[in-house]
Amino acid sequence: MPEKHPAVSGQSSSPDHERSAARPEVGVLTEEDQELEGAESLILLRSEPAQEMDALDLIKSARTLPPRQDPVTFGHQHPRMPSLTKQLRTLILLLLAITVPAQDDQALDKLLQRLPDNSIAWAAVDDLPVYYERLLQTIGPMPEDAPPEVKALLPLAQLGIRAALGRPLEDALYEVAAGPVVFGLVAGDDGPIPVLAMEVQDEGSARRLLEKFIPKASHAFEEGVLLLSQNEAGLEMLRRGASKARQYDRGLHLHLDLDVLRTEQGDGRKLLDNIDPFGRFIIGPLVAALDASEHIDLVIVPSKDQLLLHAKSAGIGDSPLADLLAIGGQRSIPAAPSGTVAFVSLDRSLAALFREMDRVLSEEGAVQAKSFLSIADQILGAAFDTDLLAKLREPMHFYVIDMGPGDEYGPKIQLPAFVLVAKLGDARAAEKILRRGGQGLFFIVNIERGREGKKQLRLRPQKNGVAVEFPDWEGDSAPPTEYALSPALLFTGEHAILASSKSGAEAMAASLAAKETLQMRGDQWRVFGPELAQVLDRNFEILKLNRILDEGEAPAAAGRFFKVLSLVLNQIESANFAVNLAGERMDWVLDVRRK
């Protein structure tokens, strides 16, 4: 049996799902948990008894990081990095910001008090030098098999930094920063003003760096704290400070004040107003929650091989968009077949969208939806919403599956398979409508091909459905990309599978036959790093060429971009973005796991 991807939660119904068994469902640590463990980091854990062990494991794994060092003792004698290559991690880890437990809450509170009440957003780090150190530790060493040109980036970057700062980055960091740092965007008359407050170790060093790199910025030193702003107005606001205390979650905490943003920058329009019908279906409930939120708080939590980003916002509340939710609670979805690059499962009902279109869509969007329905009805020979969707058990799930390298005579672009899976309610009736619709579409496509002088496609019956075959390619060069497709519609009794390739549909059917499922709730978007890297690697030349044309990069730089990207992806086992939609509060969690 091929290896499957891990389940999203730890509740796989498959007994051999060992990888998934160690995965906690992300949630929020209860106060009790924190007291029990004395947790310094915010660990995200749903407070359901069956998952407590997973959460505690997660906390413990976070503790296995090397002990935090007191930044005061570092001074100018911080330990050197063991090898230059490790510093490439700095580049990669700009993508993966992490944090460390707070050293001194009072110091950070003091800095947060500096930010005025009309701050649109702020970010706080409790210990910058230690943060940087931990950053390097979390990324780990440069992989041995990294391409030479990627390895060569590190000394180049280091030289650049050294040339700019006159010393290595870590030297400058430890020389200047004493610990906590707060960065903010403050509403000003002419737009947001960036401001910063930071405890400094060496005022003279800080002053020299400021004069060298941002001489026009306004700054002041008050009681060992650097106040820095783009202009005098911002500096004055920093001096005056806030009238109220701020809540701070340990770690790297980012706070976006949506109320201030709307007041200062908005024109009264809600975010949802700008989204078309398709967008409303995909992200509408999320955007509605943002529209209802006063603020968003994002906390970034590191552990040894995992990075969690957790944001909190208001829930959907009584927004009509809440009607789009198909389940609203826990559900199971088919396990991802071997080779899956990514999957998306949204707790959404298309039937509800069409049923409630006058409520959930704008007036213009409802017109678009109705015109779509009239076309879809014609193709299907039945009502798309009341006949077809009513016979499905939503939500549907979308998978991208890498089917391995094609043959050497195939198209130059090697696409993965795109697969849509729907559970059937009335299987017989739904199959009949879908088969008829598939034939209608096939007929239309062939008419269009005929008009363009292209050879006709063939519709081949399969054991459990139909698949489209392209005619033999007789051109001189490689066939066009469309020859990588063999759209298929398969039925497994309980499910309908629509895929861009027959092999992709068959892989999904095999997975369904094994009856392996993943448990989840809300919206889930998951990407598997090594599998995605394989697809990138296989299409390296074409991606590189397109980057040259689209970004204006030199061939070497464009090639390096994808090599670095592939290297990073190969280090990431999976990245999962989950949004728990139900309830008064919405939790947004990005969970990135290293291999």
Partner 1 sequence: MLSPWQPGPEDPFDLKRAGHLCGRAGFGASLAERQRMVEQGVDQAVAAFFASEQDRESLVEMLELIVAQDEIQKLRAFWFWRMLEGRDRLAERMTYFWHGHFATSNAKVGNPRLMAGQWWSLREHALGSFDDLLGVMTRDPAMIKWLDNDSNVKGQPNENYARELFELFALGRGTYSERDIREAARAFTGWQLRDGRYHFNRTAHDTGKKTVFGQSGAWGGEDILRMTVQREDSARFIARKLLAFFVHPEPTEAEVDALAACYIEAERHIGATLKVLLRSELFFSDRAYRSRIKSPTDYILVLLRSLGGTAAANDLSRAAMAMGEALLEPPSVEGWQGERDWLSSATWLLRSNFAFEIFLGGHKFAPDLSEALGNPEGEDEILRAAVEHLLNGDLDEPGRRSLQDVAARGIRPLCHAVMIMPEAQLL
List of residues contacting partner 1 (CB under 8 A): 411-413, 452-453, 455, 474-478, 480-482, 541-542, 545-546, 548-552, 554
Give the up-direction half-sphere exposure of residue 40: CA atoms within 13 A in the CB hemisphere.
18
Whole-angstrom Cα distance, residue 429 to residue 420? 19
CB of 218 to partner 1, least distance (A): 25
Q: Which is nearer to partner 1, 228 or 485 (CB)?
A: 485
CB of 471 to partner 1, least distance (A): 10
Which phi and psi angles does 387 have, rounded to 5°? Answer: -95, -50
Contact predicate 223/199, CB 8 Å: no
Adjacent-strand bridge partners of 332: 519
Whole-angstrom Cα distance, residue 43 to residue 278? 34
Q: Find the helix packing angle between 169-176 and 128-139, rounded to 10°.
A: 150
CB of 547 to partner 1, least distance (A): 9
CB of 553 to partner 1, least distance (A): 8
Adjacent-strand bridge partners of 300: 252, 309
Using CA atoms in the order 153, 156, 160, 165, what is the torsion angle rounded to 10 degrees? 90
Element at 368 (helix H, strand E): helix 363-380
CB neighbours (10 Å) of residue 36? 13
Whole-angstrom Cα distance, residue 311 to residue 239? 30
Adjacent-strand bridge partners of 519: 332
Q: Which is nearer to partner 1, 105 or 482 (CB)?
A: 482
Q: Which is nearer to partner 1, 31 or 474 (CB)?
A: 474
The structure tokens listed for 476 are 């001189």
Give the up-direction half-sphere exposure of residue 292: CA atoms within 13 A in the CB hemisphere.
20
Give the up-direction half-sphere exposure of residue 345: CA atoms within 13 A in the CB hemisphere.
28
Q: Which is nearer to partner 1, 144 or 550 (CB)?
A: 550
Residue corresponding to tokens 């005056």: 240
Q: Which is nearer to partner 1, 27 or 559 (CB)?
A: 559
CB of 545 to partner 1, least distance (A): 5
Q: How much of the chain is in helix, strand and coil states, percent to nearest 5?
A: 45, 25, 35
Q: Which is nearer to partner 1, 525 or 540 (CB)?
A: 540
Q: Name the pairing type of β-strands 340-345 and 458-462.
A: unpaired
Q: Which is nearer to partner 1, 145 or 448 (CB)?
A: 448
Residue type, position 416, single letter: P
Give the single-character DSSP code of 84: G
CB of 407 to partner 1, least distance (A): 15
Give the single-character DSSP code of 435: H
Contact predicate 180/112, CB 8 Å: no
CB of 552 to partner 1, least distance (A): 4
Helix (H, G, I), strand (E, B) or coil at 9: coil
CB of 479 to partner 1, least distance (A): 8
Q: Which is nearer to partner 1, 22 or 545 (CB)?
A: 545
CA nearest neighbour of 68 among 109, 21, 104, 20: 104
Q: Which is nearer to partner 1, 231 or 539 (CB)?
A: 539
Q: Which is nearer to partner 1, 294 or 551 (CB)?
A: 551
Q: Which is nearer to partner 1, 53 or 444 (CB)?
A: 444
Q: Which is nearer to partner 1, 555 or 583 (CB)?
A: 555
CB of 310 to partner 1, least distance (A): 35
Element at 222 (helix H, strand E): strand 218-222
